[in-house]
Amino acid sequence: MQDTLSQPGNPFAAPGQWYKAALHTHTSLSDGVRSPEEVAAWYRGHGFQVLALTDHNLRAEVDGLSGPSFLAIPGAELHPGRTELGEPYHLVAVGISRPHAYTAQDSVQEAIDALRADGAVVWLAHPYWLGVTLPEIVALQGIVGVEVYNATCDEYAKGLSTVHWDDALARRYLCWGLAVDDAHWYRPDYGRGWVMVRAPELTTDAILRALTAGHFYASQGPEIHHVEVTSEAVYVRCSPACRISCVSLCGYGGPAAVPGPDELLTEAVFPRRQMRVYVRLECTDATGRTAWSQPILVD
C-alpha cells in the first residue's frame, strides 16, 4: 500500500475521538414545539455528545444545557437576501457569540462574512428544498458545506441534496456534506440525521475547528470506520452495508459494491485510476439508511 496522500476532509487521518452531533435543531423560542431544555434532554438521552440550537434569527442561550460528555453550542438559522426564485436563503451558523438577524434586503455574502467574523461555522441549509441553483451555491464564499440530508425536508420528498453537492464538487468547489434533523418536533423529525465529528476534545473550539476542516462524516445510521485514499486505491470499512458506492466526477468513480443475496459488506476497495477530481463514499444499510464520507480531492 502506498503512503496516504494529503487529504483535507478525511477525519480518519486525524487524531481525536468521535462525537455524535445534532447541528440543526429548533425549539419553542422560534418555530419548534419543545423548549431548549427539553431538546437538550432528548439528544443527551439518545447518545449525542454535541447539540447546536439553531432557532430562526435569534441566538438561544445555552448556559446550563451542557454537562459531562455533552456540549451545547449557540447557533442560529438566518435568512439574508433572496434566491433567483425570490425565496430567502437559509444559512445555519454555529458558534455565534451574539445575535444576528437579516432580511431580504441584506446581502447573503455580507451576512456570511459577518457570521464568520463572529467566529461561526456557516453552511447552506437544505438546498434541494430551497430550490437554489448551482451558480447560486458556488457563488457563496466562506461556507463550509451544504446539508446533504435534512430529515424535516425529507417529509416533503426533498431531503436529499447529493446532486447539488456533486455538481459543486465537479466544479472544484470543495464543500463538506452534513446530515441534520432540522427538528421542529411536530412530527418524528428528530434523531434521523447527524454528523460524527472527529476532534481532540469536547469543546466548542475543537468542534468548530473539526467542522471547518471536514473532520466528520454525515449519517442517517450507518457508521464509517475508515476511509483511505492512496495513489493506487480507495479503501473503506463500515458497519454492515448492503451497498457501498464510490462517487467521483461524471462517469468516473467505482461501480457500487453489492453483496450477494442475504449478505452484507463491511469493506470495499476501488481502483484509484477510476477517480477524477474528487472521491467520496456512501455506505447504505439494509434498511436504506446511508452514511456519507467527505470528499477528498484526487487531482
Mean pLDDT of 258-276: 89
Q: Domain segments of the chain: what residues?
A: 11-218, 224-297
Residue 42 host element (H or E): helix 36-45
Give the pLDDT confidence score for residue 280 in this predicted structure.
96
Mean pLDDT of 190-213: 97
Rg (CA), the chain: 18
Give the pLDDT confidence score for residue 218 in this predicted structure.
99
- Output the nine-digit C-alpha cell for 133: 441553483
* Rounded Cα distance, 176 and 257, in Å: 23
Residue 161 CB neighbour total at 10 angstroms: 26
Residue 60 CB neighbour total at 10 angstroms: 22
Is the model's pLDDT at 32 over the cut of 90? Answer: yes
Is the model's pLDDT at 1 over the cut of 70? Answer: no
Residue 138 host element (H or E): helix 134-138
Give the pLDDT confidence score for residue 78 in this predicted structure.
98
Residue 195 CB neighbour total at 10 angstroms: 27
Give the pLDDT confidence score for residue 8 in this predicted structure.
65
Q: Tell me the backbone φ, ψ of residue 169, rounded to 5 degrees.
A: -65, -35
Give 250 or 204, the one with higher predicted confidence.
204
Give the pLDDT confidence score for residue 274 in this predicted structure.
82
CATH of the domain spanning 11-218: 3.20.20.140
Residue 269, strand partner residues: 235
Which distant-in-sequence residues (6+ apart) come within 8 Å of 205 by Cβ? none
Give the pLDDT confidence score for residue 4 in this predicted structure.
33
Nearest residue to 213 (alpha-carbon basis) of 232, 200, 228: 200
Q: Could you report the per-residue pLDDT of 119-156, keeping only the tens digit for each?
A: 999 999 999 999 999 999 999 999 999 999 999 999 99
Domain 224-297 has CATH 2.60.40: yes
Is the model's pLDDT at 216 over the cut of 80? Answer: yes
Is the model's pLDDT at 165 over the cut of 50? Answer: yes
pLDDT band at 35 (very low <50, low <70, confident <90, very high): very high
CA 18 to chain centre: 15
Global confidence as pTM: 0.95
- State the chain's mean pLDDT as an integer: 94
pLDDT band at 174 (very low <50, low <70, confident <90, very high): very high
3-state DSSP call for residue 265?
strand
Give the pLDDT confidence score for residue 85 in this predicted structure.
96
Give the pLDDT confidence score for residue 42 in this predicted structure.
97
User: How far lies 270's CA from each of 154, 177, 242, in Å?
Assistant: 30, 21, 16
Give the pLDDT confidence score for residue 251 in this predicted structure.
75
Give the pLDDT confidence score for residue 206 in this predicted structure.
98
Q: Is 15 exposed, middle or buried (0-12, 13-18, 19+ CB in 10 A)?
A: exposed
Is the model's pLDDT at 14 over the cut of 80? Answer: yes
